[in-house]
């Protein structure tokens, strides 16, 4: 009887274990497909790609498992081919690996299934941005914001696309809205500063970078760009101060700023 009892208990536990496995599997997909994507999008669209990579690796171990993420999401699509969110997750995983065209195809499939899928429109906007198709990126991000106007991520992505399209005033409005919605996004401050700097508005750029380093005193990109901005206005001594701070935070960026100072 004891053997039969143990056998009965084992069969009872199997469905429970399967459910738990499914939950864990979805958590992995969510971590690799969404969290890593968001971090990559926020950090990786700047010009200093090496620093962006460091940021992503430092904040999410999931990005290192992007190959696993693709395999998991491909399996999810096979299991749920009519679920637009499954296609979005796969698109995000492809985007993490730089497989932009495959990501676009996934987002298109999601939008075929659900034309009002916010995540698909936003993903499409970011994919267009990665390809340098800035007008298309702007259109996709604007559509995403029509569906979810309170998304800081969408406003941030719209600002990036507008800035690269040369529409600096509109870009800075989008960055400001993103900051209002999520004040913790230091990248918003840095990107706003870059837009001001590119537009020749150095005083505003300096304020943005100063805000960023005040928010996150370990943010190397903010110190680097603050140093650049100080050089633009002839404040070489203040630029040197940023270079000294960077020596501890990021020697590579410190060296780059030092070269700019000594030109």
Is 236 inside any structural domain? yes
Instruction: Let me know whether 85 and 127 are in one domain.
Output: no
Is 242 inside any structural domain? yes
Domain extent for 61: 57-114
**Is this prediction's pTM over 0.85?**
no
Instruction: Let me know whether 131 and 102 are in one domain.
Output: no
pLDDT band at 67, cuts 50/70/90?
low
Pair of tokens at residue 36:
């890593």
Residue count (the chain): 263
Q: What is the CATH number of the domain that holds 250?
A: 1.25.40.10
pLDDT for 125-172, tens place per residue? Answer: 999 999 999 999 999 999 999 999 999 999 989 988 998 898 988 988
Is 73 inside any structural domain? yes
Instruction: Let me know whether 101 and 146 are in one domain.
Output: no
Burial-class residue 19 by CB neighbours within 10 Å (0-12, 13-18, 19+): exposed
State the total domains in the chain: 3
Instruction: Let me know whether 170 and 153 are in one domain.
Output: yes
At 241 the pLDDT is 96
Instruction: Let me know whether 104 and 126 are in one domain.
Output: no
Residues 206-228 as b or e (16 or more Cβ within 10 Å = b): bbbbebbbebeeebbbbbbbbbb
pLDDT for 165-205, tens place per residue? Answer: 989 889 889 988 988 898 878 888 888 888 888 888 899 89
Residue 255 has pLDDT above 90, yes or no: yes
Is 43 inside any structural domain? no
Beta strands, E only, the chain: none
């Amino acid at each position: 009887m004891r053997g039969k009892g143990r056998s009965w208990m084992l069969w009872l536990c199997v469905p429970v274990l399967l459910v738990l496995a499914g939950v864990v599997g979805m958590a992995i997909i969510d971590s690799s497909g969404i969290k890593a994507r968001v971090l990559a999008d926020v950090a990786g669209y700047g010009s200093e790609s090496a620093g962006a990579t460091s940021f992503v690796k430092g904040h999410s171990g999931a990005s290192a498992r992007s190959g696993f993420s693709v395999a998991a999401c491909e399996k999810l699509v096979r299991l749920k081919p009519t679920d637009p969110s499954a296609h979005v997750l796969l698109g995000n995983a492809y985007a993490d690996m730089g497989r932009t065209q495959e990501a676009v195809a996934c987002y298109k499939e999601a939008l075929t299934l659900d034309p009002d899928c916010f995540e698909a429109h936003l993903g499409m906007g970011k994919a267009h941005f990665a390809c340098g198709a800035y007008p298309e990126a702007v259109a996709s991000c604007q559509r995403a914001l029509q569906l979810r106007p309170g998304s800081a991520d969408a406003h941030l992505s719209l600002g990036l696309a507008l800035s690269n399209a040369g529409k600096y005033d509109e870009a800075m409005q989008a960055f400001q809205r993103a900051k209002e919605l999520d004040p913790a996004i230091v990248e918003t401050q840095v990107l706003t500063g870059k837009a001001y700097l590119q537009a020749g508005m150095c005083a505003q750029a300096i304020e943005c970078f100063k805000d960023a380093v005040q928010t996150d005193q370990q943010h190397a990109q903010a110190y680097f760009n603050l140093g650049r901005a100080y050089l633009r206005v002839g404040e070489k001594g203040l630029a040197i101060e940023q270079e000294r701070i960077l020596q501890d935070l990021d020697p590579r960026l410190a060296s780059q700023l030092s070269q700019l100072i000594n030109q």
